[in-house]
Structure 1
Amino acid sequence: MASKAISIEVPGPDGETRQVRVSSPDRVMWPDDGITKEDLARYVVAVGDRLVARLADRPVTLQRFPEGVTGEEFYSKNPPRGVPDFARTVVCTYPSGRQHPQLVVDEVATAVWAVQMNTVTFHPWPVTTADTDDPDELRIDLDPQPGTGFAQAVEAATVLREVMVEAGLTPFVKTSGNRGLHVFAPIEPTHEFLEVRHAVIAIARELERRVPDLVTTAWWKELRGERIFADFNQACRDRTLAGAYSPRPLAGAPVSMPIAWDVLGEIAPGDYTVRTTPEIVASQDDAWAGFDDARARVDTALQWWQRDVEEHGLGEFNFPPDYPKMPGEPPRVQPSRARKVDDA
């Protein structure tokens, strides 16, 4: 028998409070950890100010799990039915050219309502509602490949930090909530998605040059080896990373946690979970507190891109498979299959 719905009181704007209904509060979202839907909603309230600070004024895709994280999942790009009156949406354009609205999470009550809709992970776009075509965040996903792990991701992130500083950017780092790391930089929204992607590719290539045995930019998995993949395609339109403080649908209920650079080598991804993060947030300063004051231009990284094109003959990388074929893109066939065709 389903448990009765509860009402959770959430601080709202101008000192008011909102009552957000949460149905099936006893639904177990992480079976191995006994964490329920109510637990998740109360986690969102506990870290709400910091969570919303990184989601606010952005289109957000919701990763939803109606039966918990071991069940079916789907990504809500269209806002779920029943969006509360106090929430808003913004229209986004997708790689196909079509447009539709996405939810904007401007306050904690909206995030709790998303949990009511069985959202586990919030995926904010790197744009604001005022300009959904020109990113104001540069993002690189350091993704450990088989044979590597978090320690190697930390090593790669340390070098990436140096590269990004040389490009005139201020990098911020967070755990992915899994084995990797996400490195962000706030940027001026002066270039559209494709140009920002080129800036990311240039930075990733420079990182790979410096530590080729540690980092790869190879899109095809068969070419990556035991290295950290610098995922440049997370810079594409309609590609998102888990938001800061956002839970992940993995054993232990880990959280994607902002980290200060000076403690990065001392922590482990499992330190930050739905159960442990509220106390950490309550007792420690926000590692990303200066994020919005550190905006910079991507001009230097784009100069690196142009240099690689003109002096080294390097150009476009592969786009995600659901993208239309893009100008200058290499063939969309994995190298081993291409060789078989050539040898036939």
Structure 2
Amino acid sequence: MGSEHIPVSVGGRVLRISNLDKVLYPDTGFTKRDVLDYYVAVAEALLPRLAERPVTLMRFPDGADREGFFEKHAARHAPEWVRTARIPTRSGTAEYVFLEELPALVWAANLAALELHVPQWRIGEGTRLPDQLVFDLDPGAPAGIVECCRVAVLLRDALAEDGLCAYPKTSGSKGMQLYVPVTATEEKQSSRYAKRLAERLAGRHPELITATMTKAVRPGRVFIDWSQNNPAKTTIAAYSLRARPEPAVSTPLRWTEVERGEPLAFGPRQVRERLAEHGDLLAGMGDSRAALPSE
């Protein structure tokens, strides 16, 4: 359909959609129409993961095989009905968008925002006060997803000792991530706790785990990246697409899958099937929030 803009009614809003037949994943022929269809299909599960969190869009207007770019200051593209807020950044401030309803999600997808990244705090929780931890498990070859599963179980058990509940998901790339719903008393409390726990596990399992960012020590180990709990950093949202040769999704997992230590990678069709079979595995995650241990 070329660059023709087609008016479409979504959730009572009229959006102008363009380039529906543009291929955004050349290896598979996955088009913008397919991207929009996927995000509409998973919106009920995805939108709670974005609620009240400023979203950093990672856009790939020329396709996932070309260089994309992060966009924090996205409000200049936004219709007036998309919620925005000016939020401090490392270099000043940016006018972030909030994708809290289906029309806003479709608007972002139409910009070829394949990836949606969010912080570990909600704007309604206070000044960047975290409401969840995230542990990003990054394997150094020849370690892979199987080793990430082993580390995830060790992390889950250590967190349980502190009264915290962990929810696993794939990163949509080569690793895994754990969400941990928490209550905190100040901005950097969760980051300090995550670092201490990662270093403790690395000390217990040095052959499997590293808690340092130095790439030279990563081969054959899983790096527990605790740094994404910094209030200024973001992590790929659950159910977001990833820009890979084939469309991949950051997918919530069942602990039984993790414990089996099997390869775990899912595309849009599989995620839709999983939602139909299991529902949203992160539903009710906020009900498991518990206080971080005192320091």
Of the candidates 215, 221, 224, which is equivalent to residue 230 of structure 1? 224
Question: In the alignment, is residue 258 of structure 1 matched against residue 237 of structure 2?
Answer: no
**Deviation digits for residues 34-69 of structure 1, max 9, x if unmatched?**
100111011000000111110111111000011011
Kept in 1, the 8 Å contact 2:65–2:245? The answer is no
Kept in 1, the 8 Å contact 2:75–2:84? The answer is no
Question: In the alignment, is residue 28 of structure 1 matched against residue 23 of structure 2?
Answer: yes
Rg bigger for which structure? 1
The aligned residue for residue 62 of structure 2 is 67
Question: In the alignment, is residue 195 of structure 1 matched against residue 189 of structure 2?
Answer: yes
Shift in Å, 1:138: 0.7
Q: Quick check: which one's strand share is greater?
A: 2
Kept in 2, the 8 Å contact 1:142–1:181? The answer is yes
SS in 1 for 2:129: coil
Give the residue type in structure 2 aligned to 1:101. Answer: E
Of the candidates 238, 241, 254, which is equivalent to residue 244 of structure 1? 238
**Deviation digits for residues 184-227 of structure 1, max 9, x if unmatched?**
111114221x3321111011012212322111012211122310
Question: In the alignment, is residue 275 of structure 1 matched against residue 269 of structure 2?
Answer: yes
Change (3 A) 1:8 1:44: farther
Kept in 1, the 8 Å contact 2:64–2:244? The answer is yes
SS in 1 for 2:199: helix
| Farther off after superposition, 149-158 or 237-246 | 237-246
Within 2, Cα distance between the matches of 1:206 and 1:113?
Answer: 44
The aligned residue for residue 41 of structure 1 is 36
Question: In the alignment, is residue 110 of structure 1 matched against residue 104 of structure 2?
Answer: yes
The aligned residue for residue 207 of structure 2 is 213
Within 2, Cα distance between the matches of 1:6 and 1:273?
Answer: 27
Kept in 1, the 8 Å contact 2:153–2:259? The answer is no
Within 1, Cα distance between the matches of 2:127 and 2:136?
Answer: 21
Kept in 2, the 8 Å contact 1:163–1:206? The answer is no
The aligned residue for residue 318 of structure 1 is none
Kept in 2, the 8 Å contact 1:120–1:249? The answer is yes
Give the residue type in structure 2 aligned to 1:159. Answer: L
| Farther off after superposition, 200-209 or 41-50 | 200-209
SS in 2 for 1:187: strand
Describe how 1:312-323 pairs up with structure 2 within 5 A. none
Shift in Å, 1:75: 0.3
The aligned residue for residue 143 of structure 1 is 138
| Farther off after superposition, 45-54 or 234-243 | 234-243
Give the residue type in structure 1 aligned to 2:4. Answer: K
Within 2, Cα distance between the matches of 1:7 and 1:148?
Answer: 48
Kept in 2, the 8 Å contact 1:177–1:269? The answer is no
Taking only the aligned residue pairs, the percentage that are identical comes to 34
Give the residue type in structure 1 aligned to 2:288. Answer: A
Question: Normalised by the size of structure 1, how large is the TM-score?
Answer: 0.81
Within 2, Cα distance between the matches of 1:168 and 1:209?
Answer: 21
Shift in Å, 1:22: 1.6
Within 2, Cα distance between the matches of 1:7 and 1:183?
Answer: 39
The aligned residue for residue 19 of structure 1 is 14
Kept in 2, the 8 Å contact 1:66–1:72? The answer is no
Kept in 2, the 8 Å contact 1:90–1:129? The answer is no
The aligned residue for residue 5 of structure 1 is 5
Give the residue type in structure 2 aligned to 1:170. Answer: C
Shift in Å, 1:3: 5.0
The aligned residue for residue 322 of structure 1 is none
Within 1, Cα distance between the matches of 2:184 and 2:194?
Answer: 15
Within 2, Cα distance between the matches of 1:112 and 1:268?
Answer: 31
**Which structure carries more relative contact order (alpha carbon 8 Å, separation 6+)?**
2
Question: In the alignment, is residue 186 of structure 1 matched against residue 181 of structure 2?
Answer: yes
Shift in Å, 1:6: 3.4
Question: Normalised by the size of structure 2, how large is the TM-score?
Answer: 0.94
Shift in Å, 1:262: 2.0
Describe how 1:146-185 pairs up with structure 2 within 5 A. 146-185=141-180
Give the residue type in structure 1 aligned to 2:144. Answer: G
Within 2, Cα distance between the matches of 1:260 and 1:92?
Answer: 35
| Structure 2, gaps ≥5 residues long | none
SS in 2 for 1:276: helix
Within 1, Cα distance between the matches of 2:85 and 2:152?
Answer: 33
Kept in 1, the 8 Å contact 2:59–2:70? The answer is yes
Give the residue type in structure 2 aligned to 1:133. Answer: R
Within 1, Cα distance between the matches of 2:8 and 2:150?
Answer: 42
Q: How many residues align?
A: 293
Kept in 1, the 8 Å contact 2:115–2:236? The answer is yes
Within 2, Cα distance between the matches of 1:184 and 1:165?
Answer: 13
